[in-house]
Structure 1
Amino acid sequence: MKLRKSLILLLFVFFTLVTSAVFAQSSAELKRKKEAIQREIELLQRNLTKTAKSKKLTLGQISALNAKINLMQDKITVINSEIKNLDNQIHENTNTVISLKGQLSQLKKEYGAMIRFAQRNKNAYDKMMFIFAAKDFNQAYKRIKYLQQFGQYRKKQAGYIQGTQKDLNNKIVVLDKNLKEKSNLLHEQENEKDKLGKNKSEQSAVLNKYAKQEKQYQKDIAARKKQQAQIDRSIRAAIAREIALERKRAEEAARAAAAKAAAAAAAAAAKAKAENRPAPAAVPAAKPKAGGDYLAATPEAAKLSSAFESNRGGLPWPVASGSITESFGKHKSGQANYDNVGITIQTADGAAVRAIFNGEVRKVSGVMGKYYVLIRHGQFFTVYSNLRSVSVGVGDKVTTKQTIGVVALEGGVPELQFQIWRGQTPQNPAGWIAK
């Protein structure tokens, strides 16, 4: 019975420790996520502050404000998750305190009974009489062992009481800390809700201003769309040229291999004829590859493609800090519809733009005073647009996180247009770079 109680106590302590460890891990992850969101909010706010004095409202400002509001909502969601975690921990710790109090009470009750028994039998004469009253030697020996074990168990019981009291005090401290932390989080949540309300009011004012100047914004969107379409056409043409070059190399290699195989076959046929035996069967020609497959035709390109793909979801950002203000895919602004084949990242003014993986620069081009860089990674390509300066040239080998240029301003805010292509198919970069 006592062994069973000890096992239950050990299991209970183990479960509590495991639960605490899981909570601590989850709480740390949420805290890191909240801090990352706050850094993005502060970056967007700095950009908005810089452009606030400008009378003309830009698309970059609208995107920054919308992104900031979304991030603030995300932050409130994270705080809610933190509060939920704390509620679970408070519930667990409250149950633990109640259980430890019950155990402590029971241990003290049992210890009190042992003390009373010991008081009644503390006389050495009574102990000797208890031993000598045994029927035989075996029973006397057992009574001696019983008295020894009783004394040892009493000491252990005192140790259990001290340990349980210590655990109880520790849990009470942790519980108090949880309650204070929850109070702080609730206060933070209220502050964030107030800030969100103010930013939504600011958003409404911005949208009203946008509505009054909609014609001008439609012209800006059309001009931006035209410029981006020009860049996208240039990118597609550059990728098509890469595929054409690889196809040409592959076809030349195939022709050379075919000529070599034909010569070998002719020699084998002549030898077979001379030896009066059947000629060996002809080796079938290799099937032509699909366009994009030529990009990974060589062992080096195939290895680089595989390495790039194996890092999907963990590739570094093209800037050290930033926030995605326009996602991949189709968008609508007023009456204008446009397609973003990459993502738009707002970053710090003068931020360095970095290659996200090892590769080779295949194109550097200027459009209306700004630049874009195309880097090949086997059958994959990355594109870095809206650079005010470039520090690499065509044919340069680049490494992961190597600086390739500096971001330019777009509508008063530092913005990078970033794309990833698999062959001639654009990919959503948000699924490739680290969260």
Structure 2
Amino acid sequence: MKLQKLFLVITLTSFTSLAFAQTSAELKRNKEAIQREIELLQKNLNETSSSKRLTMGQIRAVNAKIRLMQNKISIINSEVKNLDNQIHENSNEVRSLKGQLGQLKKEYAGMIRFAQRNKNSYDKMMFVFASEGFNQAYKRIKYLQQFGQYRKKQADYLQGTQKNIEYKIGVLDKNLKEKSNLLSEQEQEKVKLSKNKSEQSVMLNQISKQEKQFKQDLAARKRKQADIDRAIRNAIQREIEIARKKAEEEERLAAQKAVAEGRPVPVAKEKTNSSYLTASPEAAKLSAGFENNRGRLPWPVGQYSILERFGTHTEGRATYNNDGINILTENGASVKAVFEGKVLFVRELYGTYIVAIQHGEYFTIYQNLKTVSVAKGDKVETKQSLGVVASKEEGPVLHFEIMRGQNKLNPEAWIAK
């Protein structure tokens, strides 16, 4: 029973270490991803800060960087907490193993003393010949054999437990060093965060001085986006109308055929925009495929950091709505389709291109492209290049939207985390 208990402790120790390693690796990957985003934002800030006039893009970049730095500190806190739990577990295991080692040593010492008293062959033979019968003699021979085997096993367990203690102490030392490094990293990140918050405060003061200019910039942005939204909605509505007319024509032909054959005319079902857009088997399959990949769609660019999220935002005293997400990427980055589909339209507005792709009743919109490599009606595959992102005052920023019919959806709920 003691040997089984020892084996169970060692097994549970290994399992706990594995689970910890997986959690720690995941936290490390998340932290590295956040650091890449921070570096991308800082690189963009360095490139766009040459202008004397503060831009909305710079403000958004600093806000995004502060948010990411806070997330990074939060992850470091989780890493420290994980290490504290592991240190506590390992300390308890070392104490438990030391207690078992002491018990094993006592048992082994008792066996050695017994073996010393019965070490010569004569004593063993007398022990066997003193048996009352053949069965008892056979059992005593087996006992002597098993005793020798058991003593060897105990010696192996003794040695194994000693090595396990040494290993666990080594792991504890490593845990303590990791914790010390993480605490040092945490302090460095807090200093950086404080510096960036000071930079943010300076920018906010500057905003109040340039409030008139910011209002004008924001009004211009709203007008441009309204024009783009109108173009997108009109294109989608045209697609709905084409699908509606096609469906009505198919119903009319079906009714004529039924009359000609003397059958009852099929009762037309009430249609919606969704049913029109998914009327064909191909469109229905695309819609289902897109929907089934919710939360797993690839990012439209390779390097990315969300500069502005979906929803309502406030700049100074002005409020505006973002119907998608603004993604900061690298200069010359390729913009890729997040799912297979058909190019609904390619349009140039305000010096850059917009590409809209239809996936059944779903649509993905890619704004602020410098060049395009697709045309209206083209069929595209997942991750196929659509063009190259343009770089303006804010840097290389892609505006990305997802729509279901005419309804805007939050892209972050659809793209892979």
TM-score range, shorter chain: over 0.9
TM-score, scaled relative to structure 2 = 0.97
User: Does the 8 Å contact 1:313/1:434 carry over to 2?
Assistant: yes
User: Does the 8 Å contact 2:56/2:394 carry over to 1?
Assistant: no
* Displacement after TM superposition at 1:283 (Å): 4.5
**In structure 2, distance between residues paired with 1:399 and 1:131:** 84
**In structure 2, distance between residues paired with 1:397 and 1:74:** 39
1:234 correspondence with 2:220 = no
Please, which of 336, 342, 364 is the counterpart of residue 360 of structure 1? 342
Identity of aligned residues (%): 65
TM-score, scaled relative to structure 1 = 0.93
- 1:149-173 C-alpha deviation (Å, 9 max, x unpaired): 2212111111111111122222222
- 1:351-400 C-alpha deviation (Å, 9 max, x unpaired): 11111111111111111111111111111111111112212111111111
**After the TM superposition, which of the residue ranges 314-323 and 140-149 deviates more from structure 2?**
140-149
1:325 counterpart SS class: strand
**In structure 2, distance between residues paired with 1:144 and 1:365:** 95
1:35-434 correspondence runs (5 A):
35-265=32-262, 282-434=264-416
2:297 counterpart SS class: coil
Aligned residues: 417
Aligned partner of 2:305: which letter?
A: S
When the two chains are superposed, the root-mean-square deviation of aligned CA atoms in Å is: 1.4
**In structure 2, distance between residues paired with 1:166 and 1:108:** 14
**After the TM superposition, which of the residue ranges 410-419 and 72-81 deviates more from structure 2?**
410-419
The residue number in structure 2 matching 1:274 is: none
Aligned partner of 1:293: which letter?
A: S
Asked which structure has the greater CA Rg, the reply is: 1
Aligned partner of 2:387: which letter?
A: G
**In structure 1, distance between residues paired with 2:150 and 2:352:** 84
**In structure 2, distance between residues paired with 1:354 and 1:323:** 16
User: Does the 8 Å contact 1:316/1:433 carry over to 2?
Assistant: yes
The residue number in structure 2 matching 1:275 is: none
**In structure 2, distance between residues paired with 1:391 and 1:137:** 95
Gaps of 5+ in 1: 269-281
**After the TM superposition, which of the residue ranges 162-171 and 107-116 deviates more from structure 2?**
162-171
Gaps of 5+ in 2: none
**In structure 1, distance between residues paired with 2:208 and 2:329:** 27
User: Does the 8 Å contact 1:292/1:424 carry over to 2?
Assistant: no
Aligned partner of 1:342: which letter?
A: G
**In structure 2, distance between residues paired with 1:130 and 1:405:** 93
* Displacement after TM superposition at 1:287 (Å): 1.0
User: Does the 8 Å contact 2:355/2:367 carry over to 1?
Assistant: yes
